[in-house]
């Protein structure tokens, strides 16, 4: 292929306001050297990689949460055996035995099923499977719709994903991925047409410490140095570089426990949780299913009475939270609810898929700044979270474009789905059909200001 090679770096959870001349001099200076989009808006949900590589929003792609419900999710015989061994330890053992069971599940699932089990209860694993990461990203139509990697393959181009995530799994530290990029750039072979890379320390630090903490700033300093090494190595070879901060991070103000409310609802109905009904808890979304469709109204009524009161502790006095979605009804007087029902109006305004049973017969979302805990992904303390309404500044990332194809220009905003058509344009490719994103280099109407060197 004739266009210049492209390095696309996913800088996980790099919030729009993180660049700083002291803590991140490369990020700060890069904004003066090429394309700088001050705020990048993700979709609502947790499938940012699909948005970035397909240019299609969740409401149309159907890729919304990392894990979805399947009537009988395919798991290997080895994992079924591991579940039989681990479930009793998980349910009746002490902390040491529970961790032994979880360790067994993780090892078997990664080896035989090429998937993560996170903190999903052992007896629920057969119900849930990956959505965005169901297949290797390089496989044809891995997302069910054309991706940037599909376009490149069909054009006879070459891609390298060795420094990227694999089916949602992050292997090794950021430093290992940066060294791979340096080896690739310093080698004698021509660069791949497209190189995908992932740097995840900012996301981990944001969750652990919160977006304003010193622990986050320390991670930002280290990440900036790694980003500079990676980008400069490719820029020196004449490549273009796109840096995508895919979303932001919001400080957790309070916690709620919808699993407790679900268990209470099941007891009130004389049901066994996990049999007549079951649930899946993400950090900001709790989803519920019933075995028999006729049971749904009864579960909904019980949850309506309990979920608004499922605070993990008394909410802080004077706590003021943003609306869960634009135009949401005003809360009733008294203690505010920690969440909201993701019904037709809310799904429409947030851009969530509707009518897809993978994501619940019922779904209850967290208000911005509220964390659902315990959940099926996190074990340790969580001080920062994303996955709220994406028009809030704290939820937004950034975009940088460096290299021969990027004049110096600054824009106020773009969407995560703009990355795919922009990257395709850099590679001389175009997507078939209609996208939700647009090529930023070809859409001058979005230009905010141009600074010519």
What mean pLDDT, rounded, does the chain reach? Answer: 93
| Contact by Cβ (8 Å): 228, 196 | no
Q: 331-368 pLDDT, tens per residue?
A: 666 668 999 999 999 999 999 999 999 999 999 999 99
pLDDT band at 449 (very low <50, low <70, confident <90, very high): very low
Average the pLDDT over 256-277 and give the result: 96
Task: Inform me whether the pLDDT recorded for 33 exceeds 50.
Answer: yes
Task: Give the residue, 89 or 316, on which the prediction is more confident.
Answer: 89
pLDDT band at 319 (very low <50, low <70, confident <90, very high): confident
Minimum mean pLDDT range among 67-81, 151-165, 185-199, 307-321: 307-321
pLDDT for position 88: 95
The helix or strand, by DSSP H or E, that contains position 206, with its residue range, turns out to be helix 201-209
| Contact by Cβ (8 Å): 198, 166 | no
State both tokens at 68.
Answer: 């979805």
Class of residue 440 by CB neighbours under 10 A (exposed 0-12, middle 13-18, buried 19+): buried
Give the span between the Cα atoms of 19 and 39, in whole angstroms.
Answer: 12
Task: Inform me whether the pLDDT recorded for 244 exceeds 50.
Answer: yes
What per-residue string of b and e applies to 213-251 under the rule 16 or more CB within 10 Å gives b?
Answer: beebbebbebbbebbbbbbebbbebebbbbbbbbbbbbe
| Contact by Cβ (8 Å): 101, 90 | yes
Minimum mean pLDDT range among 57-61, 73-77, 350-354, 356-360: 73-77
Those residues with Cβ within 8 angstroms of residue 196's Cβ, 6 or more apart along the chain or in another chain: 8, 10, 137, 159, 160, 161, 163, 164
Q: How many residues does the chain have?
A: 453
pLDDT band at 268 (very low <50, low <70, confident <90, very high): very high
pLDDT band at 445 (very low <50, low <70, confident <90, very high): very low
| Contact by Cβ (8 Å): 193, 159 | yes
pTM for the full model? Answer: 0.93
pLDDT for position 444: 42
Task: Inform me whether the pLDDT recorded for 258 exceeds 50.
Answer: yes
pLDDT for position 103: 96
Q: What percentage of the chain exceeds 70 in pLDDT? A: 96
State both tokens at 153.
Answer: 């393959």
pLDDT for position 1: 55
State both tokens at 232.
Answer: 């400069």
Give the span between the Cα atoms of 335 and 316, in whole angstroms.
Answer: 10
pLDDT band at 381 (very low <50, low <70, confident <90, very high): confident
| Contact by Cβ (8 Å): 416, 40 | yes
């Amino acid at each position: 292929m004739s266009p210049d090679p492209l390095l696309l770096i996913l800088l996980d959870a790099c919030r729009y306001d993180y660049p700083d001349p002291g803590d991140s001099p490369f990020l700060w200076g890069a904004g003066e050297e090429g394309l700088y989009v001050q705020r990048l808006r993700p979709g609502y949900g947790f499938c940012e990689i699909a948005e970035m590589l397909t240019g299609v929003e969740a409401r149309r792609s159907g890729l919304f949460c990392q894990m979805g419900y399947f009537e009988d999710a395919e798991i290997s015989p080895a994992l079924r055996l591991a579940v039989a061994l681990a479930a009793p330890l998980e349910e009746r053992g002490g902390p040491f035995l529970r961790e032994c069971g979880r360790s067994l599940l993780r090892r078997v699932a990664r080896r035989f099923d090429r998937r993560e089990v996170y903190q999903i209860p052992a007896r629920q694993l057969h119900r849930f499977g990956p959505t965005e990461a169901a297949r290797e990203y390089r496989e044809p139509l891995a997302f069910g719709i054309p991706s940037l990697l599909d376009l490149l393959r069909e054009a006879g181009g070459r891609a390298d994903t060795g420094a990227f995530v694999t089916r949602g799994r992050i292997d090794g530290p950021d430093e290992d991925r940066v060294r791979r990029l340096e080896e690739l750039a310093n080698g004698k072979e021509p660069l791949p047409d497209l190189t995908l890379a992932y740097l995840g320390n900012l996301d981990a630090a944001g969750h652990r410490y919160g977006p304003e903490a010193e622990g986050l700033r320390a991670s930002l300093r280290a990440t900036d140095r790694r980003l500079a090494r990676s980008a400069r190595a490719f820029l020196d070879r004449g490549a273009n570089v796109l840096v995508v901060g895919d979303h932001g991070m919001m400080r957790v103000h309070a916690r709620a426990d919808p699993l407790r409310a679900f268990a209470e609802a099941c007891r009130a109905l004389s049901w066994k949780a996990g049999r007549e009904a079951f649930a899946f808890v993400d950090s900001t979304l709790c989803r519920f299913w019933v075995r028999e469709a006729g049971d749904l109204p009864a579960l909904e009524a019980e949850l309506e009475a309990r979920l608004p009161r499922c605070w993990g502790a008394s909410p802080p006095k004077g706590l003021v939270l943003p609306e869960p979605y634009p135009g949401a009804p005003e809360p009733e007087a008294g203690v505010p609810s920690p969440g909201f029902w993701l019904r037709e109006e809310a799904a429409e305004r947030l851009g969530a898929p509707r009518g897809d049973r993978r994501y619940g017969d019922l779904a209850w979302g967290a208000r911005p700044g509220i964390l659902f805990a315990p959940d099926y992904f996190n074990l340790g303390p969580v001080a920062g979270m994303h996955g709220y309404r994406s028009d809030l500044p704290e939820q937004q990332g950034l975009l940088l474009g460096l290299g021969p194809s990027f004049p110096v220009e600054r824009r106020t905003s773009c969407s995560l789905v703009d990355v795919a058509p922009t990257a395709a344009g850099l590679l001389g490719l175009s997507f078939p059909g209609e996208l939700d994103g647009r090529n930023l280099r070809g859409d001058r109407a979005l230009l905010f200001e141009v600074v010519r060197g």
